[in-house]
Amino acid sequence: MKNDRQPAEPFRIKSIEPISLLNREEREKKLIEANYNIFKLDAADVYIDLLTDSGTGAMSAQQWSALMRGDESYAGASSFRKFEKTVQEIFRKRYVVPCHQGRSAEHMMFSTVVKKGSYIINNTHFDTTRANTIHAGGIPVDLPCPESDSSEPLPFKGNMDVVRLEQFVHKHGIEKIAMVMMTVTNNSIGGQPVSMSNIHEVYQICKRNSIPFFYDSARFAENCYFIKRDEPGYGDKSIREIAAEMFDACDGVLMSAKKDGLANIGGLIALSNEELYRRIADLMIIVEGFPTYGGLAGRDLEVLATGLEEVMNFDYLDFRVKQVAYLGRQIKQAGMPIVEPTGGHAVFVDAGLLLPHIPPDQFPGLALTVEFYREGGVRVVEMGSLMFGGIDPFTGEKSLARHELLRLALPRRVYTNSHYDYVAESAKRIVANKNSLAGYKIVRQPPLLRHFTCDLAPLKPEKVKEKQKQ
Ligand code: F0G
């Protein structure tokens, strides 16, 4: 397990999709047309798209052939039965609800269990879980472990703070806590994994207090890989065995299957409580579709059943995690400070550290995001105060993110290392020019999830103080 050499792809390429690079002048024009919001760029105008690892992966030959087996019957399709059986085996829960993506699973679950003013506790909410909690009248609470703030390359920085969890339960009482969730891997904290011992500790606290414990399991297989690699006692276990231990320690699972489902669309809820299942299934019929297809086509369910099995292949995961580390090393060598160790799906750059002359409320992560496109036609995403800050819906005060990060997410099985070498070369040119970068202001924004649709405008470059230049 100690071999850090980047393995060659454990697959060969059967089908290709041409990409091309607009010239600098054209890219500048596209940025202006998009009001500096990279979500508004046309994908055809992007050379290398590291916006997200969600729904952007390449399917295998097995998945493409599974498409043809899709049973499109409205009720009780054989494709649903296959999907249901696969989910039951991996996630070890009796009741399975397919959903069209992660946030629809969140919406259905939270609008069923959250009462006005009740808490959902998470190691760190992803933006859609946070928004759906608030949308259902709940209060999202993040309890990341203290190590998550450390610049040391420690393992399992994605853990939940169990001391603060105990204190929170004691202070607020169990009636006000709708559920505790563990996001594996912890996307908002650099895609960092959660250890099995932390999972067991949190589950025990929840069990003792009769609080439901669920996973946000979008990247469960990547998390299992880290447990196998870095947690004593798990080196000889298979990914499937580790997943089984993990999912035995919970009441249910929400999943965006656009990540570790190796699919372009899909999500799921798996749970053991029959009464809760019935309430969700009833709601499902009103908003998503009949519970045996859940807003998906039969062929999507086939693809998911195949993808959920493929993602647990050790060689695939070993390649995947090491490719993320490869890009991380290149970006660091280019002079950008990154979150270390690299996690399972992305490299996170600390834009706040790289651009100290741009204050958090002028979005240094966004300045760097815009620059990646301007410099190289590379699309990445800000994960700082633009995504996580804003007006706090509970206090009415202006809030900022804990860190001004920028994420380079790696689509699964899509880009080769030469693509990533190109990204690192762009990073190097940006670093050489970093003092000339300026901040941005928001000129229009919606009340929730503002980063997707807001319009931005560049501010005039400020004079960078001498001491910050060093
Ligand atoms: N939970 C986590 C941890 C996620 O990362 C995401 C999506 C969701 C839930 C919502 O799932 O997109 O299928 O509705 N993350 C994507 C990303 C969008 O870029 O990280 P969804």
pLDDT of 7-21, one tens digit each?
899 999 999 999 999
187 lines ligand 1 (CB under 6 A): yes
Residues 168-184: tens digit of each pLDDT = 999 999 999 999 999 99
Assess whether the C-beta atom of 451 lies below 6 angstroms from ligand 1. no
The whole-number pLDDT of residue 429 equals 98
The predicted model scores a pTM of 0.95
pLDDT at 449: 83
| Ligand 1 atom having least distance to the Cα of 128 | 10
The protein residue whose alpha carbon is closest to atom 19 in ligand 1 is 52
74 included as an active-site residue: yes
Per-residue pLDDT band at 447 (split at 50, 70, 90): confident
Per-residue pLDDT of 396-425, as tens digits, reads 788 898 889 999 999 999 999 999 999 999
Quick check: 1 pLDDT over 50?
Answer: no
Residue 470 reports pLDDT greater than 70: no
Q: Which residue in the list 91, 126, 213, 420 is annotated as catalytic?
A: 126
Clarify whether 131 is annotated catalytic: no
What distance in angstroms lies between residue 138's CA and the mean position of ligand 1's atoms? 19
Residue 62 confidence (pLDDT) above 70: yes
Looking at residue 201, its pLDDT comes to: 98
| pLDDT 10s digits, 94-141 | 999 999 999 999 999 999 999 999 999 999 999 899 999 999 999 999
**Stretch 316-341: mean pLDDT:** 97
User: Does residue 54 line the site of ligand 1, with CB under 6 A?
Assistant: yes
Q: What is the mean pLDDT of residues 190-196?
A: 95
pLDDT at position 469? 47
pLDDT for 394 equals 73
Q: Which residue has the higher pLDDT, 151 or 35?
A: 35
pLDDT-derived band at 467, boundaries 50, 70, 90:
very low
3-class secondary structure per residue, the chain = CCCCCCCCCCCCCCCCCCCCCCCHHHHHHHHHHCCCCHHHCCHHHCCEECCCCCCCCCCCHHHHHHHCCCCCCCCCCHHHHHHHHHHHHHHCCCEEEEECCHHHHHHHHHHHHCCCCCEEEECCCCHHHHHHHHHCCCEEEECECHHHHCCCCCCCCCCECHHHHHHHHHHHCHHHEEEEEEECCEHHHCCECCCHHHHHHHHHHHHHCCCCEEEECCCHHHHHHHHHHHCCCCCCCCHHHHHHHHHHCCCEEEEECCCCCCCCCCEEEEECCHHHHHHHHHHHHHHCCCCCCCCCCHHHHHHHHHHHHHCCCHHHHHHHHHHHHHHHHHHHHCCCCECCCCCCCEEEEEHHHHCCCCCHHHCHHHHHHHHHHHHHCEECEEECHHHHCEECCCCCCEECCCCCEEEEECCCCCCCHHHHHHHHHHHHHHHHCHHHCCCEEEEECCCCCHHHHCEEEECCCCCCCHHHHC
256 CB near ligand 1 (under 6 Å): yes
Residues 341-389: tens digit of each pLDDT: 999 999 999 999 999 999 999 999 999 999 999 999 999 999 999 998 8
Lowest mean pLDDT among 60-74, 226-240, 453-467: 453-467
Catalytic residue, from 49, 53, 216, 260: name it.
216
Rounded to the nearest whole angstrom, what is the distance from the C-alpha of residue 218 to the centroid of ligand 1?
A: 7
Task: Flag whether pLDDT at 167 surpasses 70.
Answer: yes
In this prediction, what percent of the chain has a pLDDT beyond 70? 97
pLDDT tens-digit readout, 215-248: 999 999 999 999 999 999 999 999 999 999 999 9
What is the overall mean pLDDT for the chain?
Answer: 95
pLDDT score of 462 more than 70 = no
